[in-house]
Amino acid sequence: MISPTCAKILNKINILIVATLLSCQGNTRSTTADTTLPISSDSTEKRSSSPEIKKEKSFVILEGEITKTVYEASKSSYHDFITYDSLTYAAKDGKIVLPVKNGQVVLTDNTGVPHDENIETHKYIGQVKPIHKYVIEVHLYEDNFFVLIDMESGKKDTVNGFPYLSPDHQKIFASQFNPYETYDHINPPTQDVELFAVTKNGIGVIASKPFSWYFKEVYWKDNHTIYVKATTVADGSDFIFKKLTITEQ
């Protein structure tokens, strides 16, 4: 039979054992909770943002002359990759709503509030289905350009003029009339050409060049050549015909 003294000692030992076990269980739950950390907004942003496009190659735009006959001969073979369905996502109450994979992109017009300089209007043009982009024309107070919006991610890429996609879907040609004094070697106005590369990370400029003649029509002859119908004065009707060749430098 256990003496009263031994019973007291055993009772204290049991209490210590139970307390220790409870403490260990509590620490185990606490450790699990501490290691399950919520994703911060910073980390989410880093994963969703695309890295800058690196210029692995350098390109130049070379100018040449062609005849009207040559220009017209290849014109019918060019395929415009834009699906013009402007009524599909027409603006309603000053807003264009475009569905993307995980939600929607909303473009809201500003008719000049609080000042005319704040004007910003949007027009949905269509879709460039081979590269999964919506085409939006944007007008500001003293500028205009086009925005290509990815149909899946909603990422926006800006091009300076109407986007012409190359036959291999790897380049976009765009140009914009520029009335301002921008260049030291050429007087205004100019037609500013930009060439963009289309990559999985987005769209980025790979070559640019101003010209002193003004584009009326443009099309890709092949993946490296663009044919242009132009005039030597901004509103002229006497046409000239040019060939722009894209080459690696």
pLDDT in tens, 3-32: 444 444 444 444 343 333 333 333 332 222
Instruction: Give me the mean pLDDT over the 48-72 stretch.
Output: 76
Query: Which pairs from 175-180 meet CB under 8 Å and 24+ separation?
Result: 175/215, 175/218, 176/144, 176/145, 177/214, 177/234, 178/210
Other Cβ atoms less than 10 A from the Cβ of 124: the count is 21
Please tell me the number of Cα atoms within 13 Å of 23 on its side-chain side. 6
Diameter over CA atoms, the chain: 123
pLDDT over 70 (residue 195): yes
Query: Which of the four pLDDT bands, split at 50, 70 and 90, describes residue 55?
Result: low
Position 11 in a domain: no
Point out the domain boundary residue: 111, 139, 163: 163
Dihedral through CA 204, CA 207, CA 211, CA 216, nearest 10? -50
Residue found by looking up tokens 């003029």 in the block: 161
Share of the chain above pLDDT 90, in %: 72
What's the mean per-residue pLDDT of the chain?
82
Position 32 in a domain: no
Q: Report H helices in 49-143.
A: 68-75
Q: How many whole angstroms separate alpha carbon 148 and alpha carbon 199?
A: 13
Looking at the fold, whether 224 and 191 belong to one and the same domain comes out as: yes
> pTM of whole model > 0.85?
no
pLDDT in tens, 86-126: 999 999 999 999 999 999 999 999 999 999 999 999 999 99
- Under a CB-based contact definition with an 8 Å cutoff, are residues 149 and 101 in contact? no
Looking at the fold, whether 134 and 193 belong to one and the same domain comes out as: no
Domain that holds residue 207: 58-79+167-249
**Higher pLDDT residue, 26 or 57?**
57
Looking at the fold, whether 85 and 120 belong to one and the same domain comes out as: yes
Point out the domain boundary residue: 114, 143, 163: 163
**Total of domains in the chain:** 2
Looking at the fold, whether 156 and 107 belong to one and the same domain comes out as: yes
Looking at the fold, whether 92 and 72 belong to one and the same domain comes out as: no
Q: How many whole angstroms separate alpha carbon 73 and alpha carbon 91?
A: 39
My answer on whether omega of the bond before 189 falls inside 30° of 0, hence cis, is yes
Point out the domain boundary residue: 163, 191, 208: 163
- One-letter amino acid of 137: E
pLDDT at 208: 96
Asked whether the CA dihedral 22, 23, 24, 28 is positive or negative, the reply is positive
